[in-house]
Amino acid sequence: MVYQRIRDLREDHDLKQKDVAAILNCSQQVYSNYELGQRDIPTEILIRLAECYRVSVDYLLGLTDRPQRL
């Protein structure tokens, strides 16, 4: 679920993978692997994504269906 949510949020914000990768200070390939579920997303990265998109980590993890904008 988290993988689809981070992709949807990125697309909703009209960002490319390379844009988010730059924000997270990782390569585009690493970020792509996060979206594809081929790599576990570290807690620190989840927090940074939640801050970037102004949603809760619970939303990213699928624990709630409401983004709970921060």
Q: What is the pLDDT of residue 48?
A: 97
Q: What is the pLDDT of residue 64?
A: 87
Q: What is the pLDDT of residue 66?
A: 74
| Contact between residue 55 and residue 66 where contact means Cβ atoms under 8 Å apart | no
* Spatial CA neighbour of 6 closest among 29, 38, 32, 43: 32
For 4-21, the pLDDT digits (tens) are 999 999 999 999 999 999
Q: What are the start-end ranges of the H helices in the chain? A: 2-12, 17-24, 28-36, 43-53, 57-61
Note the pTM of the prediction, 2 decimals. 0.88
* Spatial CA neighbour of 34 closest among 5, 12, 55, 65: 5
For 43-70, the pLDDT digits (tens) are 999 999 999 999 999 999 999 887 665 5
